[in-house]
Structures are given as structure tokens and as C-alpha cells.
Structure 1
Amino acid sequence: MYDALFTARPDFDRFPGFPLAIGHIYDEPEHSINGTTYQPTFYNLHFVVKGTGWLRTEHGNVELKPGMGFLYGDHPQYFGTSGDDPWEVWWIYVAGEGMNSLLGDKAMRDVWAFSYVDNERVMAIVYELWAIAKLNDARQVPKQAALLYELVLELLLHASDLNASGQRSLSHTIRRAAEYMRMNCARNLPLQKLADLCEISPAYFSRTFHEEMGVPPLTYLNHQRIELSKQMLMATSKPVKAIALEVGFSQPSYFIERFRLAEGVTPTAFREGDSREGRK
């Protein structure tokens, strides 16, 4: 069975991407695609929810099971269901000039295969997109674009690569660690804990993080803490010392020192609106 809903591409071109169609395939034991190619800025996103299938990648074939999926851009597509255990898949046909920059290195591959196991939000977004597409309501266009953006970010931040080489896989792991640091910068994050997240030694993590992100882990972490402190300085009346502790600095004096180096003024001067003067 093939169920599909289509939407007109909006004239507004500021969306990174937009779901032009969404569909559901099941009970099709001969379903396969062999060589279809899309134009640039068009993408084909699939999610396996039941059964098994296969996918051809530059590193060889990948067996696809529930909780796995893939994304094609302007490369020939080769995938299909298993005849013995036909899959059930949901697919989204996407267009957008901003998708390439959003996807980064994923867009340059022949295909990006991923696992979203245990991420319930992924399929919840797909089902919500399906429900909105049924409405055929132009007022839902912004929400459709926003949901697609959220879906892609969920995959970029939390899905694991199935077809990545060792170096690409490590690069993805480091960037996931960086995102973890950004979201949890106020916590105590010793190097050992961050290295454990990547399943590598602290020394290797530190070196690889520097190569991937351009700065050492502590520098990156302090930057995230400073950014959080700036929000608190502008939005609250909490004392500087209290903010220093809340954003993860154990010593307020060290916080003030790092803040001045980063912003050119003290936290108090920043709060009073002197930040632009301090940068002259």
C-alpha cells in the first residue's frame, strides 16, 4: 500500500526546507528504488518502523531494521524492502535551499544512513506532519517548516551514523559531545566524563575535540558558560557572584576574569550597557 499526501511549495523562500510530500508504504514485498536521482536541493527521507530492508552506501550494503532510516540528496538512490520480511516505512520528500548548509557533511555523502532507536520524538514529528498535511491548510505552512527543521535537528544531534567511516563517526561523536556541553554547561563536566561519553581516553578526546571544534574543550565550555551568563545578566537582577556559580564557575573571580577577556568589560559593566564601549 502506498499512502501519500502532497503540498504546494510555499512562495516564501526563507525556510531552510519544506516537506513537499509525506507518505507511508507497507505490505509491498517488492518495493525498491534503483538509481533514481533528484535535482539539487531536493531530499528523500525514510524511516523504517517495521520489517527489514537494505540500503546501498559507499561503504557497502546496510541492513535496515525498525528504528533506522536514511536520507538521499542529489545522488542515485538504491534501497528496498526484504522480500521475506517486507518493511513498513514513512517517507518525506523535502525541498529547500537551506538544507545543504543545515545538513553539513551529511549532504555531501551518497546517502546518510542513521539509527534513531529510542528517540520517540522522531516518529512523533513524522506523525504530526502527516496529520497537518491532511488538513491541506495554507495557515499550517510555518508549522510544517518548523516541524521539519526540528526533525532534522533531532537526527543531526541524536541519531547515530550507520554508514560512517571511523573518522566520520568520531567526528559526529565529538560534535554530539560539544552539543551536550552546550546544553549542560552549568554542570560539573570533568574531562573524564566527556571522554567517557565518546568512549575514548581523555587525552585523545582533548586532542580530537580541538581538531574538530577549533578550540580545546575547556575553552569551548567556558565560552558556553559566558554566553549563558550574559543572558542571566541581562534578564535577571541576580548578583554577579550568584550568576558565576549558577553557570558553572566555582570561583567568581575566575568568572570575572574570563568574562572580561571574552567581552572586553566586566560582568557588571556589561549589565549596565557598556559592552560596546568595552569593545572599542
Structure 2
Amino acid sequence: MMKQRVLPAPAYAHYVCYPEFIGHYSDFPQHAERRSEGMLNSYNLHLVFGGSGYVFQNGIRIPMGMGRGFLYPRGAYQQYGSDPVQPWEVRWVHFSTSLSLPLLEEADQSQGYFFTFDLNAGLENRFEEMYLLSNAYETQNEPCLSAVLYEILVTLLQNSEPLHGSVPLEIRHSIRRTADIIHNECERPWTLESMSRLAGYSSYHFLRLFRSTMGKTPNRYLSECRLARAKLLLVSTEFPVERIALQSGFQQSSYFIKVFKEAEGLPPSQYRRSFRS
């Protein structure tokens, strides 16, 4: 099966990302590409959902099976294809973007980013949604096409690892589950040690894994969750500041006011007056 669509340049010129060519191949053992340097002036993303194939990088053949993918930057030399015996099922998109994301930067620097991704992250559905939008193309679909592509890229950012990544996906999922519990129960007297025990790691390893997965330290994340809870209570309740501090995880209202003012630039009472509907 070969499904592909070429999209015209968008009528609106300021999307942060936009697909140019979208495809879905399966049972197509002849699929193979070899592009010289400078031939393709767009990013090229492929995700493998079944079967197997390969890419070449610096003369080395890299197997590409289910749950693997690759991203080439603009102008890169490209060589890849399907296994003729077990042809891959691959969804792909060529796209332009002005985004600055770590996976794009990695592709730019290394002339090819090769990774594993979580098959349960919903990426297959997002690709199908993008394909359907392009199949029934109208100019009014442009914002949705851009938004779905952006969702694909950010989902990959959160649910992929280099083929030789330092933090496996299952560990990242464990850290995110821990982060969700901390967010929902931010009023608890969390410490680094109690958060580490919840995740099942030593404090040293938890700190490293959390920073790598969430992009911030556990204590900073906890503080942001508590401030978000406090802002919601300020604008949606009549609770006094002392009660809001306690229900947001701050044991002392004076410390809560200090932290809130440092983060928001104004004290809680003024925030309530300014943002309350």
C-alpha cells in the first residue's frame, strides 16, 4: 500500500511548522531512497510501526524495526529503505519549521537523528489525522495541519530516546507517573527523599533522572505545582491567604507570599484582585 499527499504552500506564511509531503507505506518492499546532499530542503521524519528496514549513516547500516524512527535535517544526505522480505509499515512527513526543539537540533548537528519511540504514545493516530486533513485539503485545514504536526514533534520529544539513549523509555514513564502524583498531591510535605522513594530510586539517581525527563529539578517542579494550585484557589475561592498557603503545600503563609511574589511579580492579594473574574 502506498498513500501519499503533497500539500501546497500554506496561504498563511507564519506557521511555526507545516507539512509539505505526507505518506503511509506498508507491504511495499520496493521502498528505498537515496538522496544526495542538498537535494531535499525540508526535514524528513519516518516512524516505523511494523516490519523492518534500514538507514545508512556514515557508511554504517542501522536496522529500523517497529518502534524506531529517523529524522533527517534539511539538505542532508539520505539513504534508507524497506526490508524486501519483511517490508516495514512506515508513516512519514517532510516538513518545514522555525521551531527550536532538541530533537531538531540533534538532527541538524549530526545530519540524522535515529531513535526509539513509544508505540503507545498516540503517534500513529496523529499521523492518520494529519493524512486525513491533507486528503480532504482546504485552506481552512491549514491551522489544524500545523497543530497536528506540532503535536507529533512535541510528543516525540517526550516519548523518544536516541538508539543509544541514557534514559530508557520505561524509566521516563516511571518518572512522569511520579511527577503526576506529585502534581495531584502537591499539598503533601514532599522532600527529595520521599519523592525518590515514591519513584523507587535513590535520591541521587532520582534527581538525575527527573531533571533529564522533566527538564527541571523535582523541587522546582513541586514549587511550580504548588503555585499553580495557589493561583487557582486565589481566583476561584474566598479562602484567606493562610488557608490557601496550607492547601497548596506551604506550611507558612509568610514564605508562601515571598515565593509567590518572586514568581509572579506581585503578592497573592493583588493577584486575586487582578485576575479574579
TM bucket, shorter chain: 0.7 to 0.9
Alignment match, 1:271: 272
In structure 2, what is the Cα distance between the partners aligned to 1:206 and 1:225? 19
Alignment match, 1:8: 8
Alignment match, 1:185: 183
In structure 2, what is the Cα distance between the partners aligned to 1:89 and 1:77? 16
- Pairs within 5 Å for 1:105-144: 105-107=105-107, 108-144=109-145
- Pairs within 5 Å for 1:182-261: 185-188=183-186, 191-192=192-193, 195=196, 201-206=202-207, 216-233=217-234, 235-239=235-239, 240-247=241-248, 249=249, 251=251, 253=253, 254-261=255-262
Alignment match, 2:66: 66
How far apart are 1:19 and its partner, in Å?
1.0
Asked whether 1:55 is paired with 2:55, we answer yes
Residues 102 and 157 of structure 2 are in contact (CA less than 8 Å); yes or no, is this contact kept in structure 1? no
3-state SS, counterpart of residue 272 of structure 1: helix
Higher alpha-carbon deviation: 210-219 or 18-27? 210-219
Alignment match, 1:146: 147
3-state SS, counterpart of residue 183 of structure 2: coil
Residues 11 and 139 of structure 2 are in contact (CA less than 8 Å); yes or no, is this contact kept in structure 1? no
Unmatched tracts of structure 2, length 5 or more? none
The one-character-per-residue Cα deviations of 1:242-276 (angstroms, maximum 9, x if unpaired) are 544554x15252433422343454312321239xx
Alignment match, 2:156: 155
**Distance of aligned partners of 1:165 and 1:90 in 2 relative to their CA distance in 1, 3 Å threshold:** closer
**Distance of aligned partners of 1:11 and 1:245 in 2 relative to their CA distance in 1, 3 Å threshold:** farther
3-state SS, counterpart of residue 30 of structure 2: coil
Counterpart code for 2:207: S
The percentage of counterpart residues that share the same residue type is 26
CA RMSD in angstroms comes to 3.9
3-state SS, counterpart of residue 15 of structure 2: coil
**Distance of aligned partners of 1:47 and 1:182 in 2 relative to their CA distance in 1, 3 Å threshold:** same
Counterpart code for 1:32: A
Residues 182 and 221 of structure 1 are in contact (CA less than 8 Å); yes or no, is this contact kept in structure 2? no
**Distance of aligned partners of 1:207 and 1:135 in 2 relative to their CA distance in 1, 3 Å threshold:** closer
Higher alpha-carbon deviation: 237-246 or 125-134? 237-246
Residues 53 and 63 of structure 1 are in contact (CA less than 8 Å); yes or no, is this contact kept in structure 2? yes
Normalising by the residue count of structure 1, what TM-score does the alignment of the two structures yield?
0.75
Residues 112 and 161 of structure 1 are in contact (CA less than 8 Å); yes or no, is this contact kept in structure 2? no
In structure 2, what is the Cα distance between the partners aligned to 1:59 and 1:191? 46
**Distance of aligned partners of 1:197 and 1:97 in 2 relative to their CA distance in 1, 3 Å threshold:** farther
**Distance of aligned partners of 1:61 and 1:216 in 2 relative to their CA distance in 1, 3 Å threshold:** same
How far apart are 1:126 and its partner, in Å?
0.7
The one-character-per-residue Cα deviations of 1:222-261 (angstroms, maximum 9, x if unpaired) are 134324533543x4124235544554x1525243342234
How many aligned residue pairs are there? 266
In structure 1, what is the Cα distance between the partners aligned to 2:59 and 2:260? 46
**Distance of aligned partners of 1:241 and 1:68 in 2 relative to their CA distance in 1, 3 Å threshold:** farther
Residues 117 and 161 of structure 2 are in contact (CA less than 8 Å); yes or no, is this contact kept in structure 1? no
Unmatched tracts of structure 1, length 5 or more? 275-280
3-state SS, counterpart of residue 185 of structure 1: helix
Normalising by the residue count of structure 2, what TM-score does the alignment of the two structures yield?
0.76
In structure 2, what is the Cα distance between the partners aligned to 1:160 and 1:59? 24
Higher alpha-carbon deviation: 71-80 or 238-247? 238-247
Alignment match, 1:277: none
How far apart are 1:139 and its partner, in Å?
1.0
**Distance of aligned partners of 1:78 and 1:223 in 2 relative to their CA distance in 1, 3 Å threshold:** same
In structure 2, what is the Cα distance between the partners aligned to 1:58 and 1:45? 19
**Distance of aligned partners of 1:33 and 1:126 in 2 relative to their CA distance in 1, 3 Å threshold:** same
In structure 2, what is the Cα distance between the partners aligned to 1:49 and 1:211? 26
Alignment match, 1:278: none
Residues 52 and 66 of structure 1 are in contact (CA less than 8 Å); yes or no, is this contact kept in structure 2? yes
In structure 1, what is the Cα distance between the partners aligned to 2:197 and 2:20? 41
In structure 2, what is the Cα distance between the partners aligned to 1:201 and 1:84? 46
Asked whether 1:31 is paired with 2:31, we answer yes
Residues 106 and 113 of structure 2 are in contact (CA less than 8 Å); yes or no, is this contact kept in structure 1? yes
